[in-house]
Amino acid sequence: MAHRWTNRPGTTDVTPEALWMNRRAVIGGLAASGVLGAGAARAETLEPNAWEDITSYNNYYEFGTDKGDPARNAPMLTTQPWSVTIDGLVDRPGAYDFAEIMEQMTIEERIYRFRCVEAWSMVVPWNGFELADLLAMAGVQAGATHVAFETVLRPDEMPGVRFPVLDWPYVEGLRLDEAMHPLTIMATGIYGRDIPNQNGAPLRLVVPWKYGFKSIKSVVRITLTDSEPPTSWNKANPREYGFYSNVNPEVDHPRWSQATERRIGGGLFARREPTLMFNGYADEVAGLYAGMDLKTYY
Please tell me the least confidently modeled range out of 29-33, 55-59, 75-79, 104-108.
29-33
Could you give the CA distance from residue 7 to residue 30 in angstroms, rounded to a whole number? 10
Query: What is the mean pLDDT of the segment spanning 64-87?
Result: 98
Domain locations in the chain as residue ranges:
11-289
Phi and psi, residue 199, nearest 5°? -100, 5
Phi and psi, residue 180, nearest 5°? -85, -5
pLDDT band at 110 (very low <50, low <70, confident <90, very high): confident
Percentage of the residues of the chain whose pLDDT score is greater than 90: 74
Could you give the CA distance from residue 158 to residue 91 in angstroms, rounded to a whole number? 33
pLDDT at residue 138, rounded to an integer: 98
Q: How would you classify the pairing of strands 110-117 and 120-130?
A: antiparallel
Question: Does 9 have pLDDT greater than 80?
Answer: no
Helices (H), the chain: 17-20, 23-33, 38-44, 51-56, 69-73, 98-105, 131-138, 176-179, 232-236, 282-285
Question: Does 28 have pLDDT greater than 50?
Answer: no
pLDDT in tens, 244-278: 999 999 999 999 999 999 888 877 777 889 999 99
Can you state the angle between helices 98-105 and 131-138, rounded to 10 degrees? 110
Question: Does 223 have pLDDT greater than 50?
Answer: yes
In terms of CATH architecture, what is 11-289? Alpha-Beta Complex (3.90)
Residue 5, CA distances (Å) to 2, 110, 226 in order: 10, 11, 27
pLDDT at residue 42, rounded to an integer: 54
Q: Taking a C-beta distance cutoff of 8 angstroms, is the pair 189, 233 a contact?
A: no
Burial class (CB in 10 A: 0-12, 13-18, 19+), 12: exposed
pLDDT in tens, 131-149: 999 999 999 999 999 999 9
Q: Taking a C-beta distance cutoff of 8 angstroms, is the pair 57, 68 a contact?
A: yes
Residue 89, CA distances (Å) to 129, 138, 143, 151, 240 in order: 22, 9, 7, 20, 30
The H or E element that residue 45 is part of is none
Residue 227, CA distances (Å) to 3, 74, 165, 244 in order: 24, 33, 26, 14
With a CB cutoff of 8 Å and minimum separation 6, the contacts of 227 are 145, 146
pLDDT at residue 107, rounded to an integer: 63
Please tell me the least confidently modeled range out of 52-61, 118-127, 136-145, 159-168.
118-127
What sign for the dihedral angle of Cα 127, 132, 134, 136? Answer: negative
Instruction: Give the chain's length.
Output: 298
